[in-house]
Amino acid sequence: MVASTRVLPEGAGWAVVCGLGFFFAAFMIVLSFIQQRYTNRSIKDTDEFASASRSVKPGLVAAGICSAWTWSSTLLQSTAVTYRLGVSGGYWYAGGATIQILLCSIMACMIKLNAPFCSTFLEVLRVRWGKTLHCVFLFFALATNLLVSSQLVVGGSAVAGTLTGIPVLAAIWLIPLGVACYVLVGGMRATLLADYTHTVGLLIIIFFFFFKVWVTSPEIGSVSKMVTLLQASNDIPHNASSSPLTFLSQSGLVFGIINVIGNLGTVFCDQSYHQRSIASNPATAARAFLLGGSAWFAIPFLFSMTMGLSARALMYSGNPLMPLLTEADVTAGLAAPASGVALAGKGGAVAVLIILFLAVTSASSAQQVAVASVLTFDVYKPYIRPEATKREIFLMSHAGVIIWALVMSLFGTIFHYAGISLGWLYLAQGIIIAPAVVPIFCGLVWKRTNKTACLVGMIVGVISGVITWIVTAATLEGEVTVASTGKDYPTLAGNVVSLFMSAIITLIGSLMRPETEDHFVLTRAINAPEDVVERMNANSKRSSSGSPASPSTPFEEKTAFDSEKTAPSVGAVPYTTETIDYVKAAGLDANELRKTLRLTSWISVIASFVLCVLIPACLASRRVWNATGLAAYIWIGFIWLVWTTLAVGVLPIWESRHELAAILRGIGKDLSGKNGKYEETSEKAALS
């Protein structure tokens, strides 16, 4: 198959991998210059580099979430399962990976309420439960980043090598290092802006393939022609009538369960998603996650329906343009590039290569910024140099980006030589990281969570999950190999045991012996500015001496919370119920946050039920679909993609219209020979 899809010269691979990498690095330099000159944000500030000063608006955060959640496997694996299972595959991929983002909105609310100044979610768990549990959570967090990062480079390099002939090892090393170049230049805010451009480019290419397949292609060109071609491929085991045009698929349901469990781990344990809740405007953090989750669904859904079904239809109908796909090819994620080449020749190959590069680089940048924050605030500062200065922290955050780029390349090389494919990594990831899902969620949102139950749950969960996985593979397949452990039922058993053993132990232990002390009064002081801590100390002293000052008295004086002052050690503050004033100091209203939390919880739970239970039940009500059913399915996906375009393509521009106007005014002044550099007083006057 590889030779038949190598339609681009090797130089095209080098041009995309190196050229686009340098382009985005240059783009970051320009963005950083514009930010430095025409706005009040400086990338020399550690808080700005790591979390964009916690001021990003929901549209841009939603675009960043879509970008970070669009891995190479989002496009390659979703297409592969649609090719393998039919119409149920792409839906289970999209629906099963959307609910985690929706549920993450609950944690976003709680982080803003219980740790408004934190830099990582692991900081909250360290201050709440101490260093022992923190190190265990740190293991799961870095394991998650390692698995995700490996999928990115393994999938992206495989496609680049297949389409252009570029050496796979070269792509494995160049992709992470190219991404590191532009992350180092820009920091979190510029990375989000680059994510926005990636997402827009990705949407344009998805629209291109949609109209090519369903409207203009002479090979397919309509839903009715697609149905006719797919009827020649009724050989899917465990599907109703062995048809790809049915939702009654036992294998589809198995994949859906694996997908939900595995992706719970990759969201809840991954700092890159918490990073976006930390970076977001405090008042709109939950809204950004709901917006991003709803917008993301259409990307894997419509892309996989378009590319996966067309690959199956063209191959089984004997179309000479479509190369023969082996099971190994499909597992490696090569159905999408094969379909692109068959539909649009070299243009399709270029489009697939670019869309994969955009997905890999945007998600890789999110991983590098996230891990750099973890290495800085959860390894370097607490364990290596507690008295680190702002300058040292800033340098460490940059070093963390380089370190993780090298780790990504190293493990990508290891997995490549071990013969471990994208599909295997995707299905097996939950077995390792799912045991931390419930402890992390409870640790961030439930004050009665028992830390010992969390520790035991995680350890027992991962051990029992791995044992179940290996034993099931040996029992059902007769051997323990990469191939046998990647089968559906061994991975299903391992994922389910890993998640539920940990969940049961954590929840039962916490209900039987709940913690009575509210440790969230400690976490609210994490990284709080000096003047806020001093005021809290003063308030506590007045209260303890019988002062009539009310603990709930709001602050009447505004302070600059973007200051670079370093907060004193958390343990130095006498914590009382007054610590809710830390939330007020962050510009938040605790009552409004609680209302948002209740609303967000209801929306997330109901939407998860609809996506994973109600809609699949309705879609399975008809045994095998006809052209009308498939047309409704596809065009609803198209309408959803239009909504995605509005939510993450148009909304960020609209939200930032005033800032963009101010930047354009500054550029205009510079071009006319005046001083266009940002000055706060003059800018306020211009805006008023």
Tens digit of each residue's pLDDT (9 = 90 or more) over 513-529: 998 887 777 887 777 76
CB 5 within 8 A of CB 163: yes
Q: Residue 596: inside a domain, yes or no?
A: yes
Residue 560 has a pLDDT of 34
Say if 391 falls within a structural domain.
yes
pLDDT at 566 exceeding the cut of 50: no
Instruction: Compute the average pLDDT of residues 363-389.
Output: 91
CA distance 202 to 448: 43
In a domain, 577, yes or no: no
Question: Binning pLDDT at 50, 70 and 90, where does residue 573 land?
Answer: very low
pLDDT of 606 strictly over 50:
yes
Which residue, among 261, 236, 263, 233, has the nearest Cα to 251 in the 3D structure? 236
Instruction: Give the tokens for residue 175.
Output: 């992709």
Judge whether 562 lies within some domain. no
318 vs 187: which has the higher pLDDT: 318
Q: Which residue has the higher pLDDT, 638 or 177?
A: 638
What CATH number did the domain enclosing 318 receive?
1.20.1730.10
Q: Identify how many contiguous H helices and E strands the chain contains and give both numbers.
A: 32, 0
Among 91-100, 170-179, 349-358, 675-684, the range scoring the smallest mean pLDDT is 675-684
**Mean pLDDT, residues 112-123:** 86
∠ CA 589-590-592, rounded to 5°: 65
Which pLDDT band, with edges at 50, 70 and 90, does 223 fall under? Answer: very high
Answer whether residue 254 is part of any domain: yes
Q: Is residue 174 part of a domain?
A: yes
State what percent of residues in the chain have pLDDT above 90. Answer: 40
* Mean pLDDT, range 304-330, rounded to an integer: 88
Q: Give yes or no for residue 545 having a pLDDT over 90.
A: no
Please state, in angstroms and rounded to a whole number, the distance separating the CA atoms of residues 24 and 178.
9
Which tokens is 218 given?
């002479």
Q: What global pTM score does this model have?
A: 0.84
Q: What is the pLDDT of residue 584?
A: 59
Domain that holds residue 129: 2-36+64-278+285-518+589-669
Lowest mean pLDDT among 196-200, 438-442, 540-544, 658-662: 540-544
Domain assignment present for residue 129? The answer is yes
Residue 272 has pLDDT above 60, yes or no: yes
Query: What pLDDT does residue 661 have?
Result: 86
Distance, CA of 227 to CA of 313 (rounded, Å): 8
Lowest mean pLDDT among 35-39, 148-152, 279-283, 552-556: 552-556
pLDDT score for 320: 82
Residue 316: enclosing H or E segment and its boundaries?
helix 298-316
Q: What is the DSSP letter of 574?
A: -
Q: Which of 1-5, 194-198, 571-575 has the lowest mean pLDDT?
A: 571-575
DSSP 644-665: HHIIIIIHHHHHTHHHHHHHHH
**Region label for 71, one of left (φ > 0), alpha (ψ between -120 and 50) or beta (otherwise):** beta
Q: How far apart are CA 611 and CA 40, in angstroms?
A: 42
Buried b / exposed e along 514-541 (16+ C-beta atoms within 10 A): ebeeebbbbbbbbebbebbbebbeebbe
Residue 512 within a domain: yes
Mean pLDDT value across residues 380-395:
90
Q: What is the share, in percent, of the chain residues with pLDDT greater than 70?
A: 85
CA distance 415 to 297: 29
Split at pLDDT 50, 70, 90, the class of 572 is very low
Q: What are the backbone angles phi and psi of residue 326, rounded to the nearest 5°?
A: -85, 170
Residue 457 pLDDT exceeds 90: yes
User: pLDDT tens digits, residue range 608-656?
Assistant: 999 999 999 998 887 889 999 999 999 999 999 999 999 999 999 998 8
Over range 164-174, report the average pLDDT: 90
At a CB cut-off of 8 Å and minimum separation 6, what does 132 contact? 455
Domain count, the chain: 1
Spatial separation of the C-alpha atoms in residues 172 and 150, rounded to whole Å: 9
How much is the average pLDDT of 78-88?
A: 93
Instruction: Report CA torsion sign: 278, 280, 282, 287.
Output: negative
The predicted structure's pLDDT at residue 43: 60
* Residue 578: band (very low, low, confident or very high) from pLDDT cuts 50, 70, 90: very low
**How far is CA 539 from each of CA 117, 462, 557, 583, 589, rounded to the nearest angstrom?**
20, 46, 14, 15, 19
* Positive/negative CA dihedral, 63, 66, 69, 71: negative
Task: Give the integer Cα–Cα distance in Å for 229 and 318.
Answer: 10
Averaged pLDDT of the chain? 83
Token reading at 54: 């916690």
- The predicted-structure confidence for 413-432, as pLDDT tens digits, reads as follows 998 888 887 778 888 889 99
Q: What pLDDT was estimated at residue 561?
A: 33
Most confident of 79-88, 236-245, 657-666: 79-88
State the pLDDT confidence band at 8, using cuts at 50, 70 and 90.
confident
Would you state the pLDDT for residue 73? 80
pLDDT in the model for residue 303: 96
